[in-house]
Amino acid sequence: MINELLIHGFKRFVKQRFSMSPLTVLAGMNGAGKTSVVHALLLMREASRRNDNVVELNGPFQLDLGTFGDIQNWDAPESVRFELTDQGNAVHIWELGGKQTALYANVNVRPQLPPPAFTEGIRTFQYLSAERFGPRSILGSAALPFDVLEVGSRGEFSAQLLYALDSYPIDELRRCPGAGTDDAALLKFETERWLSKIAKAVQIDAETLAGTAVTALRFRTPGGDWVRPPNMGFGVTYALPVILAGLTAAKGGLLIVENPEAHLHPSGQSQMGYFLAAIAASGVQVLVETHSDHVLNGIRRAIGEHCILPASQATVHFFDDTGSVPLAFTETGGIASWPPGFFDQFQLDVAALTRVRRRR
């Protein structure tokens, strides 16, 4: 597990340390650095799995970072430097350099033995972009053996993964609460249970067309007819890859999810927060970038009400124009300190409306 991340000379960061927990939440203003933290981790992963001392800045994980000059912070030294400290206090260092106009970076320093999540293990590092695939009648297939499949950074391989691993056993900590003791704890059924809890009651059928790279999904409400994804709506298809990635992530691995709340109603967003806390409790390190107070509150309830994750195993980093500040959870699901601008818009709006009513 990663305990700390140091970013030096990358994008908006001159030098910034971030503590990391089994569940780490990035929240705050737009353009304040949350996505840059994610990009740093993606570049470390890409640099770790290549052997040519080069890391592409555009392409892998849907990255579109431009040139090396675009990712440098001009107030920092010439190189870009990342450091990860793991739970054994070992420090892993990556240092990137290159020409300002190059569409890649040279990997000048890399760890001899990166953390396990950054190696080529099966589903040890999974990333889901904010730009996930919406409802599609057909999806593609990865040219990989079934046992190493992942959902893809846009959820583009969700149908193939579900088809290939439908009988993949799910460990107890990741099982949907409320399932009967006789219910099969297999990927297909657990996905349906979580999806029904988060989005709507639904059953899923995945298929692949023999001899082609085409896969497809069908959905139906219990007792209803099968329908194609475009007739089911965005919430189901946006939540599906998050659930699949969480249920299949390797224990000890890293799962990064941007905007898990996308296209979900408030109750579903809260349940998504609970789901991500459950995945973190199962031994997967989870990093979430979110703008949703409902996702945050779902995590808070998982800590304080349901007690599935100790408060000490979750951290929030709040970003604004002045930088970032870590916020701790309390054992009852509270936030130890609540800075201005941190998910306070509901209270501000209600207070404004209250003042209007008082004037009338």
| Whole-Å CA distances, 340 to 31, 186, 232, 320, 358 | 17, 44, 39, 10, 25
Predicted confidence band at 180 (pLDDT cuts at 50, 70, 90)? confident
Predicted confidence band at 233 (pLDDT cuts at 50, 70, 90)? confident
Q: What is the mean pLDDT of the chain?
A: 94
Specify the pTM: 0.95
- Characterize 37-66 residue by residue with b for buried, 16 or more Cβ atoms within 10 angstroms of its Cβ, and e for exposed: bbbbbbbbbbbbeeeeeebbbeebbebebe
**In whole angstroms, what separates CA 28 from the centre of its chain?**
16
The residues spanned by each domain of the chain are: 1-124+252-360, 133-248
**What is the CB neighbour count within 10 angstroms for residue 23?**
27
* Separation of alpha carbons 235 and 164, rounded Å: 23
Please report the pLDDT score of residue 111 as a whole number.
94
Q: What are phi and psi of 79, to 5 degrees?
A: -85, 155
The hierarchical CATH code for the domain 1-124+252-360 is: 3.40.50.300
Q: Is the pLDDT of residue 183 over 80?
A: no
Residue of 222, 39, 243 whose CA lies nearest to 155: 243
Most confident of 64-78, 127-141, 296-310: 296-310
Q: pLDDT of 248-266, one tens digit each?
A: 999 999 999 999 999 999 9
- Give the pair of three-digit tokens for residue 181: 């003791």
Q: Is the pLDDT of residue 138 over 70?
A: yes
∠ CA(277), CA(280), CA(284), 5° rounding?
A: 155
